[in-house]
Amino acid sequence: MTVSATQGVIAFYDTHPINEDEILAKLAARGDDLDSLTQDKLKDFDQDHYGGTEVVDILAERAGIGARHHVLDVCSGMGGPARWLAHTRGCRVTGLDFTQSRVEAARRLTARVGLEQRVDFVHGDATAMPLPDTAFDIVVSQEAWLHIPDKAAVIGQCARVLRPGGTLAFTDVTLSASLTPLEESRLVAEMHAPGVAWTARYLELLATAGLSVKTCEDLSAFWTDTLVKRLAMYRGLRDTTVAKFGAAHFDAWDATYAFFVGLFTAGKLGGARIVARKPD
């Protein structure tokens, strides 16, 4: 990834409508005491993927995550899924993300709910992970690799850090139909999503990395529904987004997200949940 492409993704998440201040404002507005917060409360607002903690539970089931495991969450954002896995499964989780503001927010939110002994965060690029070989039992990731053009590199890194017999379980945006050149360029310029992959491409890359695919599920219909609701949710965040980043930022975000969701409703983008195993 070029330096400017990386900076584009980081700027996208530095100015994202879902952020630590917004999460804390929502909790306070609901009447939660921020000084005695629990993950059961925080989980309603800290997940930045399509479907909330219910889909983290499904991913954990598919991956077979248990208390004895050390899990790596690749592109962990503000740490919502990492905390939820540690809280519900009793496992240890390390999150990796290259947006420093996300890593710092993840650490603060994790300390607020007292999970810092079992959940830690590393600042780093998923295509060159600053993590040792074979260190993790399970690797998960949700709704992030659309930002990574070099999918072979991220899958290769996941395979490297997994122990023999370990499992990779991830969900990502996939192509369901060819895009026009204008749609492709808007995805790159506005969503920082270069080279969204066909599911078949992921299956090919997993095999090349030596992983055997266990399951591959089509999430397109569920995600289309979820994203239509997510657009409405972002519109509901107008006041906090304008207060933090200004009205022009909100309007640009709104146009971009409406375009993105439109590609799902038009049947051009979809999603997949893929589980693969590293041989013993």
Ligand X SMILES: C[S@@+](CC[C@H](N)C(=O)[O-])C[C@H]1O[C@@H](n2cnc3c(N)ncnc32)[C@H](O)[C@@H]1O
Q: How far is the CB of 280 from ligand X (least distance, A)?
A: 28
Cβ nearer to ligand X, comparing 33 with 61:
61
Cβ nearer to ligand X, comparing 164 with 197:
197
- Amino acid code (one letter) for 132: P
The residue sitting closest to ligand X, measured at its beta carbon, is: 77
Restricted to residues 197-236, the positions that interact with ligand X (CB under 6 A) are none
Are the C-beta atoms of residues 145 and 64 closer than 8 Å to each other? no
Restricted to residues 77-96, the positions that interact with ligand X (CB under 6 A) are 77, 80-81
Among positions 125, 218, 225, 254, the unique one binding ligand X when judged by CB under 6 A:
125
Rounded Cα distance, 99 and 75, in Å: 9
Among positions 42, 60, 93, 148, the unique one binding ligand X when judged by CB under 6 A:
148
Cβ nearer to ligand X, comparing 18 with 180:
18
> Residue 147 gets which letter from DSSP?
G
Are the C-beta atoms of residues 158 and 135 closer than 8 Å to each other? no
Give how many residues touch ligand X by CB under 6 A: 22
Q: Tell whether residue 104 is a contact of ligand X (CB under 6 A).
A: no
- Per-residue tokens: 264: 């799902």
Among positions 39, 99, 220, 240, the unique one binding ligand X when judged by CB under 6 A:
99
Cβ nearer to ligand X, comparing 95 with 166:
95
Nearest Cα residue to 91 out of 108, 73, 74, 109: 73
Largest CA distance in the chain: 54
Are the C-beta atoms of residues 98 and 124 closer than 8 Å to each other? yes
φ, ψ (nearest 5 deg) of residue 43: -60, -20
Rounded Cα distance, 280 and 278, in Å: 7
Q: How far is the CB of 153 from ligand X (least distance, A)?
A: 9
Q: How far is the CB of 171 from ligand X (least distance, A)?
A: 9
Phi-psi region of 175 (alpha: psi -120 to 50; beta: other; left: phi over 0): beta
Cβ nearer to ligand X, comparing 149 with 166:
149
The one segment of 43-51, 159-167, 203-211, 257-265 that binds ligand X by CB under 6 A: 43-51
Cβ nearer to ligand X, comparing 233 with 247:
233
- Per-residue tokens: 188: 């790159």
Q: Is the dihedral of CA 88, 92, 96, 100 positive or negative?
A: positive
- Amino acid code (one letter) for 101: S
Among positions 19, 39, 110, 142, the unique one binding ligand X when judged by CB under 6 A:
142
Q: Tell whether residue 48 is a contact of ligand X (CB under 6 A).
A: yes
Rounded Cα distance, 96 and 267, in Å: 31
The one segment of 36-44, 124-132, 182-190, 239-247 that binds ligand X by CB under 6 A: 124-132
Q: Which residues here bind ligand X, judged by CB under 6 A? A: 9, 13, 47-49, 75-77, 80-81, 97-99, 102, 125-127, 142-144, 147-148
